[in-house]
A and B are shown apart, each in its own frame.
Chain A
Amino acid sequence: MKADTESFLVLKNLSMVFNKGTTQEVVALQDVNMDIARGEFISIIGTSGCGKTTLLRIIAGLETEYDGHALLNGKPIIKPGLDRGVIFQDHRLLPWLTIEKNVGFGLRNGSKAYRAERIKTHINLVGLTGFEKSFPHQLSGGMAQRAAIARGLVNEPDVLLLDEPLGALDALTRMHMQKELERIWKQEEQADKTDNALTMIMITHDVEEAVYLSDRIVIMSARPGKLKRIIPVPLARPRDRDSFDFIKIKDELLEEFHLQAEKYFSYTI
């Protein structure tokens, strides 16, 4: 399931300073180095102000004034592109379009029949069958976010960038959507058995979500935004939230934020 190990997305000495040279200078990112392989599921976790959204926006091409290198397939990232889909924290569906037109907004070319088929497939993929003609304001938060995910996927990008996609949802919907994200990620991989496996880069605040979904978890620290540590999660899928290994990794993660539970004893086998 893991794609080739050749470096797909390379971040080298990546730095980003806002308002450089003025009194409001803010160092959002400092010397970030990261290699991401094709088909990986990466979570980025960190406290507020650690630059994770900036990092995502740089990869998306929405921020261009960075120092250092951000390379996709060897080419520097200088602007947004269809190869990198973005799911924002607020769903950003266009309110004057129906759901199917919104999803179709992401589809840039193709014949009418091709477009209709693709839109239908992706609406079904996210579980919104029957809501094609609804408007965003008629949908709940979770459903709107799912529509945004459909829109992000409809053009089959190589990379999907998600900025706290499940942050605005209630706990139950969130757990359901985590399963859905995993299902979508796996389904996209299987549908296209060639080397167009979908790479997911997700920002989240939810530690459990990160361990549940990711191959690797990137931990960032704030002020200035630095890459603190990368924790691999070599667990088989689907993951059991209650298994020992799962909880161990979760604890490791929480320890980084000094939030671990009190331990009365520990043992190793």
Chain B
Amino acid sequence: MPAASEIIQSGAASGSRAFQVTEHVVSYPVRKTRRKIPKIVLQLVVPVILFAFWILVTEKEWIKPYFIPRLEKIAVRFVEMIRFESLLDDFWVSFHVMLIGYVLGVTLGLIQGFMLGISRLNDTLFSPTLNAIRQVPLLAWFPLFVLFFGINTPMKVVFITVGVFVHVYLNVYQGIRAVNKEYIEVASVFEYTRWQTVRRVIFPAAFPAIYTGLRLAASFSWGYVVFAEMMNGRHGMGWILNDAQELLDAPRLYVAIVIIGFFGFFLDYLLGLLEKRVMHWKRQPI
């Protein structure tokens, strides 16, 4: 692209005295547009660095290989666990116990949360007691549950149900209480009955808060089942953790942790996707 000076000069050189429109082409120093680094690449930078660090540590044996085994050892152990040990069975045990407890807890939590949120009477009757009981951390209840319900699956289901229930009912209750009075007034202006208002205004308005409660409760329930299996029983991912620790089998431990972590992440990711689908009317942060 010729610079301005050249064009003006060429115009002058042609000798024309008539008015000539010269196109001023000015070359600005062009600012280099920053090449866009895809987000996913940035997100992977830290994990890759951690991996690299791990490999470095295991190669140089800065820490005893007993604590930080080589990555290949963990991978090999993983395959062994699937083929020769009961990894898949254990995973299934954890998964389906969590599922039953989650579904039960959510159902009860939704019902109770709704009752408390909508009926002032229920709220006054039950909230104080529930709030008091809620202050005890769930894990502290565990020994009592073992006493009442034994050490097997029924106890674990109850344990998870109670944990999920506490999370869900609270979120439902608060979600309903937080519904804008303004929307409820709109419903009353259009002669909506109490029940119609609940169905068409209160529930949709509270739904984001309720869904958040459900999503968090899912993460928690996975943690609860692993915990319960660590304490008691002979099956499940939690049991693997405990057993591996007792047998000083570090690779097995790592395999179990990775699987537990991945599944938790995956579950939450799925629920996040679902959230976007269901609440497409809301502008979402991730």
Q: State which of B189, B191, B201, B279 has its C-beta within 8 Å of the C-beta of A94.
A: B201
A107 to B155 Cα, complex, angstroms? 51
Q: Which residues of A contact B200 (CB under 8 A)?
A: 105
| B265 interface contact, C-beta 8 A | no
Q: How far is the CB of B161 from chain A (nearest CB, A)?
A: 30
Q: A94-B183, A95-B282, A96-B281 are in contact. Are A80 and B204 (CB under 8 A)?
A: no
| Chain B contact surface mostly | helix
Question: Could you tell me the distance between the alpha carbons of A105 and B205 in the complex, rounded to whole angstroms?
Answer: 15
A83-96 vs B, CB cutoff 8 Å, 1 = contact: the mask equals 01110101010111
A60/B189 in contact, CB under 8 A: yes
Considering the complex, which residues of chain B in the window 156-202 have a beta carbon less than 8 Å from any beta carbon of chain A?
A: 182-183, 185-186, 188-191, 200-201
Residue contact B191 to A90, C-beta cutoff 8 Å: no
> For the complex, what is the distance from the CA of A96 to the CA of B190, rounded to whole Å?
18
Q: Are B283 and A137 in contact (CB under 8 A)?
A: yes
On whether A85 and B281 interact (CB within 8 A), knowing A92-B183, A94-B183, the answer reads no
CB-CB under 8 A from B183, the residues of chain A are 92, 94
Give the residue name and chain of the A residue nearest to B201 (CB): A94
Q: A94-B204, A137-B283 are in contact. Are A80 and B188 (CB under 8 A)?
A: yes
Q: Does A62 contact B (CB under 8 A)?
A: yes
Q: Which B residues from 235 to 286 make CB contacts under 8 A with A? A: 279, 281-283
Q: Which residues of A contact B182 (CB under 8 A)?
A: 88, 90, 92
- Which single residue of chain B is at the shortest CB-CB distance from A161? B189
Q: Which residues in B have their C-beta under 8 angstroms from that of A155?
A: 190
CA distance A92 to B182 in the complex (A): 7
B185 touches A62 (CB 8 A): yes
Chain B, Cβ-Cβ closest to A135: B281
Complex Cα–Cα for A94 and B186 (A)? 9
**Bound Cα distance A187, B57 (Å):** 81
A 58-91 contacts with B by CB, 8 A: 60-62, 79-82, 84-86, 88, 90
Docked CA distance A88–B185 (Å):
10
- In the complex, what distance in Å separates the CA atom of A138 from the CA atom of B87? 50
Chain A residues positioned under 8 Å from B205 (CB to CB): 94, 96
With contacts A88-B182, A90-B182 taken as known, whether A82 is within 8 angstroms of B191 at the C-beta atoms is: yes
Min C-beta distance of A148 to chain B, whole Å: 9
User: In the complex, which residues of chain B have a beta carbon less than 8 angstroms from the beta carbon of A108?
Assistant: 190-191
Report the nearest A residue to B192, measured CB to CB: A108
Kindly list chain B residues whose C-beta atoms are within 8 Å of the C-beta of A224. Answer: none
Interface mask (B96-122 → A, CB under 8 Å = 1, otherwise 0): 000000000000000000000000000
- In the complex, which of the residues B189, B201, B279, B282 contacts A86, with contact meaning CB atoms closer than 8 Å? B189
- Give A residues with C-beta under 8 Å from B: 60-62, 79-82, 84-86, 88, 90, 92, 94-97, 105-106, 108, 135, 137, 155
With A62-B185, A79-B188 given, can you name 6 additional A-B contacts, CB distance below 8 Å? Answer: A61-B189, A88-B182, A88-B186, A94-B205, A97-B281, A137-B283
